[in-house]
């Protein structure tokens, strides 16, 4: 059995090939049950996320323990579909970071306006820099990246780190300019793409701030009590979800729906339908009034695609 560390996973999943693998996975048959959530205690949760196709069976095992030094821990076990034999173990956090960011960038390729130039990153946690990297890699026309966080010092530090990365990259036309911003409302009003990667339980982005045609990428909230955009934003939106889990778990959708602010037909469908061309009305550019929203809570299909890409890449891994 092969063992892939976090460094191995990141090295084996360049953005281009990973996005291609995700696109193929949404076109190919696979079985993806809804994830299982088990309360270990009043605070701690165990998540089991299985998926399989004709070649592989995977299960991602996630623990969420707020009092632990590292709140979220994850591992992915990979089995041979034909024999059930264990094939590999992968660092689950690295898989999650990489596939979450790549999935959002893939959705934005189809939903955001082709002339998008300014990206606003809301959040400074472990996922945030990967979201910025994926969007920038898949959209070379981006010119500005604004970073906002509740902790201004953390936002400044992340902006400096991301600017250093882009400055160190091989020379290319249109170098990305990165800055921390303090005024979220003003930054949201100027953005073409807004990526929210937080664990907020209160809306951070307000529909009244948004200019027509903006694309809103909501990836942080994964429970009914979590949300990142308010009802006014959702009421204007053409919404695509990453899978059935979002319809059952996403507070951004469930709370707006409960408040009667989600008009009939707002949810156009899922990413699979978008990639297969079944959601023609979701395509950019948006109307003068509308915004587009991609709401993601994570799917084991994304994990399966990433894992298969790692194994096919034949990158280095330690024997188990």
Q: How far is CA 215 from CA 10, 281, 291, in A?
A: 27, 15, 6
pLDDT in tens, 94-126: 999 999 999 999 999 999 999 999 999 999 999
Domain ranges in the chain with CATH number 3.40.50.720:
113-298
pLDDT of 282 above 70: no
- pTM equals 0.92
pLDDT of residue 245: 87
CB < 8 Å & 24+ apart, contacts of 159-167? 161/129, 162/129, 162/132, 162/133, 165/133, 166/136
Which two tokens mark 196? 């929210």
* Class of the domain covering 2-96+301-319: alpha beta
pLDDT in tens, 211-264: 999 999 999 988 899 999 999 999 999 999 998 889 998 999 999 999 999 988
Domain ranges in the chain with CATH number 3.30.1780.10:
2-96+301-319
pLDDT of 37 above 90: no
Identify the CATH homologous superfamily for domain 113-298.
NAD(P)-binding Rossmann-like Domain (3.40.50.720)
pLDDT of residue 286: 47
Q: How far is CA 120 from CA 56, 130, 263, in A?
A: 37, 13, 26
């Amino acid at each position: 059995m092969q063992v892939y560390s976090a460094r191995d996973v990141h090295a084996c999943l360049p953005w281009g090939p990973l996005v291609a693998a995700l696109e193929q996975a949404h076109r190919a048959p696979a079985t993806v049950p809804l994830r299982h959530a088990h309360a270990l205690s009043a605070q701690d949760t165990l998540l089991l996320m299985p998926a399989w196709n004709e070649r592989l069976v995977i299960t991602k095992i996630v623990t969420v323990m707020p009092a632990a030094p590292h709140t979220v821990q994850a591992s992915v076990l990979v089995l041979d579909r034909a024999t059930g034999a264990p094939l590999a173990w992968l660092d689950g956090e690295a898989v999650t970071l990489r596939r979450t960011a790549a999935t959002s960038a893939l959705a934005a390729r189809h939903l955001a306006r082709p002339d998008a130039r300014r990206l606003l990153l809301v959040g400074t946690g472990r996922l945030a820099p990967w979201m910025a990297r994926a969007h920038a890699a898949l959209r070379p026309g981006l010119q500005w990246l604004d970073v906002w966080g509740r902790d201004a010092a953390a936002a400044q530090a992340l902006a400096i780190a991301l600017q250093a990365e882009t400055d160190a990259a091989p020379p290319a036309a249109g170098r990305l300019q990165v800055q921390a911003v303090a005024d979220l409302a003003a930054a949201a009003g100027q953005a073409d793409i807004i990526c929210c990667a937080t664990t907020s339980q209160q809306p951070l982005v307000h529909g009244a701030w948004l200019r027509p045609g903006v694309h809103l990428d909501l990836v942080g909230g994964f429970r009914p009590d979590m949300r990142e955009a308010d009802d006014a934003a959702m009421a204007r939106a053409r919404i695509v979800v990453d899978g059935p889990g979002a319809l059952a778990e996403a507070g951004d959708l469930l709370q707006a729906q409960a408040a009667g602010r989600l008009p009939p037909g707002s949810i156009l469908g899922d990413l699979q339908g978008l990639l297969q061309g079944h959601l023609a009305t979701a395509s950019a550019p948006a109307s003068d009034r509308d915004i587009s929203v991609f709401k993601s809570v994570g799917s084991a299909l994304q994990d399966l695609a990433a894992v298969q890409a790692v194994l096919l890449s034949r990158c280095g891994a330690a024997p188990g």
